Amino acid sequence: MASHVQLEYGDGVMDVELPDSAIVVDPGPREDDPEPLADPVAATAEALDKPLGMPPITDLVGPGSKVVIAFPDRVKGGAHVTSHRKVTIPQLLDRLEAASVAATDISLVCAIGLHRKNSPEDIRAYLGDEIMDRVAPDRIVNHDPEDPDGVVSLGTTRHGDVVEVNRAVVEADLAVMIGHSQGNPYGGFSGGYKMPCTGLTTWRSIRCHHTPGSMYRDDFVPASSTSHFRHQLTDIGRKIESAMKRPFFAVDAVLDSQARQLAVAAGAVDEVERATWPAAARRTDVSLGAEPADVLVVGMPRSFHYGPGMGSNPILMLQAIGASVTRAAAALKPGAPVICASVCDGWFNDEWFPATRTVYELWQGCARTTEMREFEDEVSTRADYIEAFRSGSAYHPFHAFSMLYMGGIALERSRAIVIAGAKEPGLARGMGCIPVRTFDEAIARVTRHVGRDPKMLVVPALSKPQVHVRAGD
């Protein structure tokens, strides 16, 4: 018997026939999903009025206080009427006004990290008119890790990690972080200390953890909140707080697959992490109730997560495969091959990701991704790439290295990565993958490694918020 499944593929789908033994994991709404909050506005108000480990905001500020509200960029969080940012920021502004904080002393900072800068139109789309009309345009800015006057160096952590962070955050009387607590292949969960450490620092700081030395450790895969990577984030966050006038005031929401709030907590970062991660795990962690699978199958659209071209740009394609392996490793047999439906047609989207083409070309002269470290400084400081980033049109050049390093997890842990439907086979081969024209050919290739009738774990849609999968009950 066989079942029909549609895998995301480029701008459409790839229709495939799978044996009934295949386990299909749909990361969209599930019957056992936790129920979203009936009233996220009221729940947020309660969290702000009863923060964990800190006094309420109105007790922390007063006339003359300088306040920074840092919020995540467009990559996650939704833009619906009751999205976390749209619900939380107006309530923060109300409390700051009640504490007699002047509007001119409040700044909203989009914590882009090394992502493409958000345009005013982007920000209005996901913050909404109410917030944009209450805050002067010059008070809403993108974090700029390449602004020498806008970044302060705080030395290193006990791990030797560089700490460079947004100056306004350090100089503020209060810095509020709005975060989303969701399953994440980088350190188990987003939100918490991950938000400032990846969103408000520099490439020199980010490369201390988005690097093979942290990501190729055994404790990084499967995705884990107890990994060395996660400990690095905590230490960097605490190092930043040691230079601040008071610690971060975090407001994190646990989100479901439709970016609706499942829970909200506010206050000290470590307390908020402890309060939100269990709820995030209930949404994110999936037990198969079965033995580990022989093969991982993923469907990849052209545009998702980091933007247009992610599923056709070979560097980003491999990143998504590596992230998928990291999320599913606990449900796979060691060395399980991967089949990925990807157009891999050579559209790098150079406007958004200019450095990825250079990184791809350099990668062709390397045997392992670890060898790419010698090129980081040269590429990450190229004037044309930095100008493209600062002008708002492109991702930071180091982002391309961090993407390749995550992709390297798939190369390190999978006996074979087969790209079904690759339009430019040479690009797939250049990433260490095996290009084939059809899904049936892909099945034939992996059976060389795992035998006939392999048990498949199938993730048909990478465009949806993903889950962390494990075998057994």
Instruction: List % helix, strand, coil for the chain (3-state, nearest 5).
Output: 40, 25, 40
pLDDT band of residue 29 (cuts 50, 70, 90) is low
Give me the pLDDT at residue 16, please: 96
Contact between residue 345 and residue 351 where contact means Cβ atoms under 8 Å apart? no
More confident residue, 115 or 30: 115
Please state, in angstroms and as integers, the Cα–Cα distance from residue 119 to each residue in 110, 114, 116, 208, following that order.
10, 15, 9, 28
Weakest-pLDDT range from 2-6, 352-356, 448-452: 2-6
Q: Which residues of 374-400 are buried (b: 16+ CB within 10 A; e: fewer)?
A: ebbeebbeeeebbebbbeeebbbbbbb
Structure tokens at 1: 């018997």
Give me the pLDDT at residue 169, please: 98
pLDDT tens digits, one per residue of 48-106: 999 999 999 999 999 999 999 999 998 777 889 999 999 999 999 999 999 999 999 99
Cα 349 → chain centroid: 20
pLDDT tens digits, one per residue of 364-374: 999 999 999 99
| Non-local CB neighbours of 193 within 8 Å, separated by 6+ positions | 233, 234, 236, 237, 238, 269, 273
Give me the pLDDT at residue 288, please: 86
Average pLDDT over residues 426-443: 97
SS3 call for 149: coil
Average pLDDT over residues 443-458: 94
If you write DSSP's letter for every residue of 72-125 in order, what string do you get?
A: E-TTSS--STT-HHHHHHHHHHHHHHHTT--GGGEEEEEE-TTSPPPPHHHHHH
Confidence check: pLDDT of 2 > 60 = no
Which domains are seen in the chain, by residue range?
2-25+288-470 (3.90.226.30), 40-284 (3.40.50.11440)
Structure tokens at 206: 């980010």
Average pLDDT over residues 349-359: 98
pLDDT band of residue 1 (cuts 50, 70, 90) is very low
Nearest one of 68, 90, 54 to 272, comparing CA atoms:
54
| Average pLDDT over all residues of the chain | 95
Give me the pLDDT at residue 392, please: 81
Give me the pLDDT at residue 28, please: 66
pLDDT tens digits, one per residue of 382-415: 999 999 999 988 999 999 999 999 999 999 999 9
Report which DSSP code applies to 190.
S
